[in-house]
């Protein structure tokens, strides 16, 4: 993809893009890596899921070590530290392929993401050389220690403290961390603490065997039961001064940047979880008979299968679109003279809005799909003997991981407002223009007779509706805007649905250019169904906000404008879904 064709963070609200990266464009090397991931899961993970869930001593740790031997742990680690230095798209593809592996996936993601990346991007050269090769090989396992009993979403309120020893050679840590993934076996810990009376966190690299580090019992959890999760205590723990990562007081920034990465990668993880649950769904529907026929022949089941596929397609599409934007931004920063590490961090920070979108959309997509998977199985879906039991239980954590979905919705709305306030940003001007058109009855619905042009117009209108409501809400509420979280979340939902819809449109249009309209007919069905639903969700969320911020004549003007901006052509959605479901049933798997 040419660099001129990608969008900067949040820019999708302002302009259209001609090209995106789509999964159909994976090269041969990426396909081979994906095959390696799937072979590893089939041989090493899926046959022992029950054993993993029972916390068999050393089992999950051994799987991470085997992952390292296969090269999977070093995908994002540069070659100079004995990794493979692959692109961001490739690292996301690995996260997606391994995202179907339940507790193993959580351990893998924690190790390769939040566990290793603070060291990679903020550690000194000495620390990187000492630890990164062993993290890439699986000789060492990593964990990330941020959350405390009194500091969850408000991470910077943590009480863990660090003071300098009298001889100036060590930081002395005291405090408690909880919900630490991989905590039961991790060798290397990224620990956040405040130095002296600092108001902002700092970050430290702590080894498991340092004196003063103790570990609590494994937590008993609703899902991801095989994942190691425990509390960690620091009692006068002596940490070498050279193990401070980044600068003093830079820990909160480190935590935020790593969370942005975690959010994007969680979006990728959910792709694998969605596809796994969908596989179980269609397999069971093709095997289970009622009233003398397979239940896959029933319209109610076809509806469920089709919706699972449509939402999986949208989720996957949005993830890879964003992933290539990150890669393109990294390359652009490097061409301007930044080293790769700084270029990576700048790029991740730029897409904070998109990261939050992917986290919310992916986790809620997966929760929908696993819920319908249980429903398709009927009574058997409620049995712990069926695989959808684990799909259902393990999916639920994703709406809490990496910042709750409520926090991330607020991030979407707040980040959009920050973009609007930047010098030279046209967002408020566009919002005011849309509002003026609304007051003067100049809003027009999408009307083109050309198939793709019509959807371009409709999505442009969906963006206009989100900006118009955001601008009007901010103007009406003023300083109270950030306290009206319900309004902010409604605006966020408008933006999330619009981003997903535009992603699907661009993927379908591009595949048609590659394959031709006849082969792409089923993709058109997916696009038709998704935008048909997304436009109505944008209208509903917009009206929730309008009801809260306006009344009288203004209310009527805004309501009429929203109706026009989100109006979608009639669609026989039943027949479209049936065609999608029939393809699934014929393939007996998700093969889009």
Same domain, 202 and 238: yes
Q: Would 412 be classed as within a structural domain?
A: no
β strands within 24-141, DSSP E: none
Q: Which of 402, 484, 502, 512 is catalytic?
A: 402
Same domain, 130 and 158: no
Q: Positive or negative CA dihedral for 566, 547, 360, 463? A: positive
> In the chain, how many domains are there?
4
Please give the structure tokens belonging to residue 273: 């979880």
Say which CATH number the domain at 567 has.
1.20.140.10
What is the number of other CB atoms lying within 10 angstroms of the CB of residue 236? 12
Please state, in angstroms and rounded to a whole number, the distance separating the CA atoms of residues 264 and 259.
9
Q: Please tell me the total number of residues recorded for the chain in this structure.
A: 592
Q: Would 12 be classed as within a structural domain?
A: no
Say which CATH number the domain at 222 has.
2.40.110.10
Please give the structure tokens belonging to residue 586: 């014929």
Same domain, 267 and 381: yes
Mapping DSSP to helix (H, G, I), strand (E, B) and coil, where does residue 177 land?
Answer: strand
* Domain boundaries, position 286: 252-406
Please give the structure tokens belonging to residue 313: 């397609």
Distances (CA, A) of 37 to 70, 102, 138, 157, 558: 9, 14, 16, 39, 50
Same domain, 128 and 154: no
Residue 329 has, within 13 A of its CA and on its CB side, a CA count of: 24
Q: Would 193 be classed as within a structural domain?
A: yes
Q: Would 503 be classed as within a structural domain?
A: yes
Token pair 């986790």 is found at 363
Please state, in angstroms and rounded to a whole number, the distance separating the CA atoms of residues 360 and 412.
10
> Which of 210, 235, 250 is at the close of a domain?
250
pLDDT by residue, tens only, the chain of 592 residues: 444 568 889 999 998 887 899 999 999 999 999 999 999 999 999 999 999 999 999 999 999 999 999 999 999 999 999 999 999 999 999 999 999 999 999 999 999 999 999 999 999 999 999 999 999 999 999 999 999 998 878 878 889 999 999 999 999 999 999 999 999 999 999 999 999 999 999 999 999 999 999 999 999 999 999 999 999 999 999 999 999 999 999 999 998 889 899 999 999 999 999 999 999 999 999 999 999 999 999 999 999 999 999 999 999 999 999 999 999 999 999 999 999 889 999 999 999 999 999 999 999 999 999 999 999 999 999 999 999 999 999 999 999 999 999 999 999 999 999 999 998 899 999 999 999 999 999 999 999 999 999 999 999 999 999 999 999 999 999 999 999 999 999 999 999 999 999 999 999 999 998 888 777 899 999 999 999 999 999 999 999 999 999 999 999 999 999 999 999 999 999 999 999 999 999 999 999 9
Q: How far apart are the first and last CA of the chain?
A: 22
Same domain, 320 and 197: no
Nearest to residue 184, comparing CAs of 104, 107, 117, 237?
Answer: 107
What CA dihedral angle connects 107, 110, 111 and 117, to 10 degrees?
Answer: 170
Please state, in angstroms and rounded to a whole number, the distance separating the CA atoms of residues 312 and 84.
29
What is the number of other CB atoms lying within 10 angstroms of the CB of residue 27? 10
Please state, in angstroms and rounded to a whole number, the distance separating the CA atoms of residues 384 and 457.
48
Exposure of 571 by Cβ count < 10 A (0-12 exposed, 13-18 middle, 19+ buried)?
Answer: middle
Same domain, 241 and 360: no
> Which of 223, 250, 277 is at the close of a domain?
250
Exposure of 226 by Cβ count < 10 A (0-12 exposed, 13-18 middle, 19+ buried)?
Answer: buried
Q: Would 415 be classed as within a structural domain?
A: no
Same domain, 195 and 119: no
Active site residue 35: no
Burial 65-101 (b: 16+ CB within 10 A, else e): bebbeebbbbbbbbeebebbebbbbbbbbbbbbbbbb
**Phi, psi of 320, deg, nearest 5:** -75, -30
Same domain, 163 and 104: no
Residue 275 near residue 325, CB atoms below 8 Å: no
Same domain, 261 and 380: yes
Same domain, 578 and 439: yes
Same domain, 431 and 570: yes
Same domain, 575 and 441: yes
pLDDT at position 551: 96
pLDDT at position 4: 52
């Amino acid at each position: 993809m040419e660099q001129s064709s990608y969008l900067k963070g949040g820019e999708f609200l302002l302009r259209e893009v001609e090209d995106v990266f789509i999964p159909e464009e994976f090269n041969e090397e990426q396909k081979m890596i994906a095959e390696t991931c799937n072979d590893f899961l089939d041989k090493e993970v899926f046959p022992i899921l029950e054993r993993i869930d029972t916390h068999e001593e050393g089992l999950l740790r051994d799987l991470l070590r085997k992952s390292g031997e296969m090269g999977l742990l070093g995908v994002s680690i540069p070659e100079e530290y004995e990794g493979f230095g692959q692109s961001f798209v490739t690292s996301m593809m690995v996260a997606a392929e391994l995202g179907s592996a339940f507790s193993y996936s959580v351990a893998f993601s924690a190790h390769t993401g939040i566990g290793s990346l603070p060291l990679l991007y903020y550690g000194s050269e000495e620390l990187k050389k000492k630890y990164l090769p062993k993290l890439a090989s699986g000789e060492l396992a990593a964990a990330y220690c941020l959350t405390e009993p009194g500091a969850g979403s408000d991470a910077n309120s943590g009480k863990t403290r660090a003071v300098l020893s009298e001889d100036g050679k060590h930081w002395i840590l005291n405090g408690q961390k909880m919900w630490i993934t991989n905590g039961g076996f991790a060798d290397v810990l990224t620990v956040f603490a405040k130095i002296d009376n600092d108001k902002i966190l700092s970050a430290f690299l702590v080894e498991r065997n340092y004196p003063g580090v103790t570990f609590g019992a494994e937590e008993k959890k609703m899902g991801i039961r095989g994942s190691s999760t425990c509390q960690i205590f620091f009692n006068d723990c002596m940490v070498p001064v050279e193990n401070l990562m980044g600068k003093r007081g830079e820990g909160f920034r480190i935590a935020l940047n790593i969370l942005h990465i975690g959010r994007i990668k969680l979006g990728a993880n959910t792709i694998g979880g969605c596809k796994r649950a969908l596989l179980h769904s269609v397999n069971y529907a093709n095997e289970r008979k009622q009233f003398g026929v397979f239940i896959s022949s029933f319209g109610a089941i076809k509806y469920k299968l089709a919706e699972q596929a449509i939402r999986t397609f949208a989720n996957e599409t949005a993830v890879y679109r964003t992933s290539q934007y990150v890669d393109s931004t990294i390359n652009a920063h490097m061409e301007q003279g930044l080293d790769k590490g700084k270029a990576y961090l700048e790029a991740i920070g730029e897409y904070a809005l998109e990261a939050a979108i992917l986290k919310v959309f992916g986790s809620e997509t997966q929760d929908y799909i696993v819920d319908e998977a249980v429903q398709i199985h009927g009574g058997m879906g409620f049995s712990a003997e069926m695989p959808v039991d684990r799909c259902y239980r393990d999916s639920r954590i994703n709406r809490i991981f990496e910042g709750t979905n409520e926090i991330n919705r607020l991030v979407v709305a707040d980040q959009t407002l920050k973009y609007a306030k930047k010098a030279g940003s046209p967002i408020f001007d566009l919002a005011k223009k849309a509002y003026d058109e609304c007051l003067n009855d100049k809003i027009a619905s999408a009307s083109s007779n050309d198939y793709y042009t019509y959807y371009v117009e409709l999505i442009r209108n969906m963006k206009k509706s989100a900006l118009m409501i955001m601008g009007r809400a901010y103007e009406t509420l003023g300083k109270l805007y950030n306290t009206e979280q319900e309004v902010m979340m409604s605006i966020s939902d408008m933006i999330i649905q619009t981003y997903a819809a535009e992603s699907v449109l661009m993927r379908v249009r591009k595949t048609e250019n590659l394959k031709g309209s006849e082969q792409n007919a089923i993709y058109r069905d997916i696009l038709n169904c998704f935008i048909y639903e997304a436009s109505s969700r944008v209208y509903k969320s917009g009206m929730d906000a309008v009801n809260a911020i306006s009344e009288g004549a203004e209310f009527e003007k805004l309501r009429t404008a929203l109706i026009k901006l989100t109006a979608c052509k009639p669609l026989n959605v039943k027949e479209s879904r049936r065609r999608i479901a029939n393809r699934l049933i014929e393939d007996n798997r998700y093969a889009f």
